[in-house]
Amino acid sequence: MPPPARCPLSPQSGIDEVAPRPSKRMGVRRGRLDSSLFHMLVLVCALSQVLFVGLVTGQTAQLSVDASSQNGRTIPDKMFGIFFEELNHAGAGGLWAELVSNRGFEAGGINTPSNIDPWLIIGDESNIIVETDRSSCFASNPIALRMEVLCGATGTNACPSGGVGIYNPGYWGMNIEKTKVYKVSMYIRSSDSVDLAVSLTSSDGLQNLATHTITAEKGDFAGWTKVEFDLQSSERNTNSRLQLTTTKNGIIWFDQVSVMPSDTYMGHGFRKDLATMLANLKPRFLKFPGGNYVMGNYLLNAFRWSETIGPWEERPGHFNDVWNYWTDDGLGFFEFLQLAEDLDACPVWVINDGASLNEQIPSATIAAFVKEVVDGIEFARGDPKTTWGSVRAAMGHPEPFPLYYISVGNQECSKPYYKEKYVKFYSAIKASYPDIKIISSCDISSISAVNPADLYDVHVYTSSGDMFSKTRMFDSTPRSGPKAFVSEYAVTGNDAGRGTLVAALAEAAFLIGLERNSDVVEMASCAPLFVNDNDRGFSPDAIVFNSWQHYGCPNYWMLHFFKDSSGATLHPLTIQVSNYDQLAASALTWQNSNDGNTYLKIKVVNFGNKAVNLNIAVAGLENGIQEFGSIKTVLTSGWLRDENSFQQPDKVVPAASPITNAGEQMGVIVDPYSLTSFDLLLDTNTDKYPLLESSFHSSM
């Protein structure tokens, strides 16, 4: 049922709130009402809402589209993409599917004994002692865990039932699914005989989901030995742990303990449900690995690409000091390139240019950082016979990755040395790879012949009201020179909440402005992309998840309205309306790759509290509009600040319905506070008609 009626609230951030209307979403199940009195109250409430909305309906507008091919303009083919930053545990404990947190025991630092959080012991100090030491076989990961078991299987000092040992709860609990197979690997060393149970259990250890026993005679594990096996769970538990237990006294060392689901996205280690959410947006580029994450608070903790490649167990990992957590760097430079390939997106690499948030390398000593970047490009693009290309090939990818975009630094134009250093990076990259497009942190006013750039980076964080007004942000931008890359934008502040309808609508209007100005704006992506609900370092975000659930915020669903824009043909349009400046609209033609049909898509944001009677007139079409097969899709809800949640993941989602009066002249109603798309099926001499369920599309 729709939420109870609310009194209209005082305007905030320039937004006039309106009482909620009954939901128009399709296919959302409603619970049964148990009280006839409540039935009557809801009916009265709904009638009052209808009367209220009636007071603000009646606004009329004319939208005229020139759909002629000669006046159309092609939108850049990489217009809309995604930006991934390692914050909010987006990668570690999120998109990267590794279930063990601090798998190499390195998170506590190089001084031993150290903190092994979140590992804990099973038993007590009378029968088990654990500590870290520097005995690992990996030079880049020197820390290992030493476990000394003081009790035994029998006798006066017998171990407790079930044994003693250690356990790891993962990232706020491991999601273990029934019948699913998990790949386990670890390194073990012991001069004693070994009888070790490796189990997936409930968080309290009482429910056993799967167990494998490792046995070895004395001396078999005298040197570090890698042990690998599969565990198949007999039950499901969304708050599970990995535990290593024994009843045999002696000393065992452990290192690089890993548990990975066997069914990751494309088999490349990405959590399938989250990666699918990204794929459904059809992103044309992937910007990575972040903004401030690239820099670090200090260079000691900056993202250094060469330390994130090679076998996972040989990567040193690093402390993400900007967002305050450890990452094992399983999601490294190679994996980001692989993810871009899996998503059919163009990689955009944000490089560290010798600066952190608190430090800078002077221009005179920047040469090593420049070389590191050029080497990184060779890793991505080099022939397998080159020094770094051979490393990529050894990792299983002999073919080069199509890396053609490099962003130099992150919001650093005002910092001392940036412009001097930038020119050195620019010159070195262009000398070896002239086809790479280089993105500057400076705005267009700072770019010149002596400080050149192919694109310049733009970040927009503001209130919903101001974001809506920025639909004209680029209207007066010079039409020559470098193009804008709006790599980060988001509505922030009170009306953003944890991802509200009003924030999504404001961002949609902003993107419509980018479409209209796509002759000077080449690329755009929102930020942040992901948030683990257990670590909200930055809100709002497009996708929320925990160990076993996920949902898209309203702005995630808003992005679906733009996933067909890249490479489409933009058509000029005009809106005529009196005393109502709350509309933003665009029109484009695009081809559905699923069925080959061509559509004229008209998107309209109504950012005001009035329903609009919109008369649409389309001129210049070479082919007419078919009578059947056109679809209307609406994103709206009962209240401006409605949000999705784990309890109501579909509270604010698009609803699709057939258009029954599709034509070159048509009258439609545009709801208050809504984003509406009219996908008009064009006549291409075909009898193919799309299914309603796939029009928005089934890939969602």
Examine the pLDDT at 573 and tell me if it is beyond 70.
yes
Six-digit token string for 354? 């010798």
Residue 364 sits in the same domain as residue 389:
yes
Six-digit token string for 164? 């003693």
Q: Is residue 614 part of a domain?
A: yes
The tens digit of pLDDT for each residue in 523-571 reads: 999 999 999 999 999 999 999 999 999 999 999 999 999 999 999 999 9
89 φψ region: left (φ > 0), alpha (ψ -120 to 50), beta (else): left
Q: What's the mean pLDDT in 593-622?
A: 95
Q: Which of 78, 555, 545 is nearest to 270 (CA)?
A: 545
How far is it, in rounded angstroms, from Cα 326 to Cα 130?
21
Q: Do the Cβ atoms of 227 and 66 come closer than 8 Å? A: no
Residue 245 sits in the same domain as residue 311:
no
Residue reference for tokens 């097969």: 629
Q: How confident is the model at residue 598 (pLDDT cuts 50, 70, 90)?
A: very high
DSSP 622: S
Q: How confident is the model at residue 426 (pLDDT cuts 50, 70, 90)?
A: very high
Q: Is residue 481 part of a domain?
A: no
The tens digit of pLDDT for each residue in 45-91 reads: 333 333 333 335 569 999 999 999 999 999 999 999 999 999 999 99
Q: What's the mean pLDDT in 591-612?
A: 95
Examine the pLDDT at 33 and tell me if it is beyond 60.
no
How far is it, in rounded angstroms, from Cα 234 to Cα 367?
56
DSSP 252: E
pLDDT for the residue numbered 665: 97
Examine the pLDDT at 700 and tell me if it is beyond 70.
no
Residue 398 sits in the same domain as residue 307:
yes
pLDDT for the residue numbered 222: 97
Six-digit token string for 455? 């694109």
What are the CA-CA distances from residue 38 to residues 33, 41, 623 (Å)?
8, 5, 52
Q: What's the mean pLDDT in 238-247?
A: 98
The tens digit of pLDDT for each residue in 443-459 reads: 999 999 899 999 999 99
What single string gives the DSSP state of each residue in 133-200? ES--SBTTB--EEEEEE--BSSSTTBPPTT-EEEEE-TTTSEEE-TT-EEEEEEEEE-SS-EEEEEEE
Q: Do the Cβ atoms of 400 and 381 come closer than 8 Å? A: yes
**Cβ contacts of 14 within 8 Å, gap of 6 or more:** 463, 464, 465, 466
Examine the pLDDT at 688 and tell me if it is beyond 90.
no
Q: Give 484: exposed, middle or buried? Use CB within 10 Å, 0-12, 13-18, 19+.
A: buried
**Cβ contacts of 621 within 8 Å, gap of 6 or more:** 67, 68, 600, 664, 682
Q: How confident is the model at residue 416 (pLDDT cuts 50, 70, 90)?
A: confident
CB atoms within 10 A of CB 600: 24
Examine the pLDDT at 694 and tell me if it is beyond 50.
no
- Domain of 204? 120-261
Q: How far is CA 212 from the centre of its chain?
A: 35
The size of the chain, in residues, is: 700
pLDDT for the residue numbered 57: 52
Which of 388, 412, 446 is at the close of a domain? 446
Residue 257 sits in the same domain as residue 146:
yes
The CATH number of the domain holding residue 384 is 3.20.20.80
Alpha-carbon Rg for the chain in angstroms: 28
pTM: 0.90
Q: Do the Cβ atoms of 667 and 628 come closer than 8 Å? A: no
Residue 86 sits in the same domain as residue 205:
no
Report how many domains make up the chain. Answer: 3
pLDDT for the residue numbered 690: 52
The tens digit of pLDDT for each residue in 345-368 reads: 999 999 999 999 999 999 999 999
What single string gives the DSSP state of each residue in 116-135? -TT-EEES-TTTEEEEEES-
Residue 653 sits in the same domain as residue 593:
yes
Which of 420, 446, 472 is at the close of a domain? 446
To the nearest 10 degrees (0 to 180), the angle between helices 367-381 and 387-394 is: 50
How far is it, in rounded angstroms, from Cα 39 to Cα 34?
8
Examine the pLDDT at 689 and tell me if it is beyond 70.
no
Q: What's the mean pLDDT in 662-683?
A: 97
The tens digit of pLDDT for each residue in 110-131 reads: 999 999 999 999 999 999 999 9
First and final C-alpha spacing in the chain: 24
The tens digit of pLDDT for each residue in 369-385 reads: 999 999 999 999 999 99
Residue 401 sits in the same domain as residue 320:
yes
Examine the pLDDT at 201 and tell me if it is beyond 90.
yes
How far is it, in rounded angstroms, from Cα 326 to Cα 319?
4
3-state secondary structure of 636: coil
pLDDT for the residue numbered 655: 98
Peptide bond into 400 cis (omega under 30): no
Examine the pLDDT at 38 and tell me if it is beyond 70.
no
Residue 64 sits in the same domain as residue 88:
no
Q: Do the Cβ atoms of 546 and 533 come closer than 8 Å? A: yes
Q: Is residue 341 part of a domain?
A: no
Q: Which residue has the higher pLDDT, 155 or 554?
A: 554
Q: Is residue 158 part of a domain?
A: yes
Look up residue 357 and give its amino acid. L
Express as a percent the part of the chain with pLDDT over 70. 89
Residue 373 sits in the same domain as residue 411:
yes
Q: What's the mean pLDDT in 171-187?
A: 98
The tens digit of pLDDT for each residue in 459-506 reads: 999 999 999 999 999 999 999 999 999 999 999 999 999 999 999 999
Peptide bond into 289 cis (omega under 30): yes
Six-digit token string for 338? 């692989």
Residue 223 sits in the same domain as residue 295:
no
Express as a percent the part of the chain with pLDDT over 90. 86
Q: Is residue 301 part of a domain?
A: yes
pLDDT for the residue numbered 699: 40
Q: Is residue 3 part of a domain?
A: no
Residue 73 sits in the same domain as residue 141:
no
Q: Which residue has the higher pLDDT, 177 or 37?
A: 177
How far is it, in rounded angstroms, from Cα 98 to Cα 116?
17
The tens digit of pLDDT for each residue in 313-348 reads: 999 999 999 999 999 999 999 999 999 999 999 999
pLDDT for the residue numbered 593: 86
- C-alpha torsion sign, points 132, 133, 139, 140: positive
How far is it, in rounded angstroms, from Cα 119 to Cα 131?
11
Q: What's the mean pLDDT in 169-185?
A: 98
The CATH number of the domain holding residue 169 is 2.60.120.260
3-state secondary structure of 514: helix
Q: Is residue 542 part of a domain?
A: no
pLDDT for the residue numbered 19: 38
Maximum CA extent, the chain: 93
Residue 138 sits in the same domain as residue 256:
yes
- Average per-residue pLDDT for the chain: 91
Examine the pLDDT at 310 and tell me if it is beyond 70.
yes
pLDDT for the residue numbered 154: 87
Q: How confident is the model at residue 22 (pLDDT cuts 50, 70, 90)?
A: very low
pLDDT for the residue numbered 156: 86
What are the CA-CA distances from residue 300 to residues 296, 311, 321, 467 (Å)?
8, 22, 9, 36
Q: Is residue 40 part of a domain?
A: no
Which of 246, 261, 276 is at the close of a domain? 261
The CATH number of the domain holding residue 631 is 2.60.40.1180
Q: What's the mean pLDDT in 300-324?
A: 97
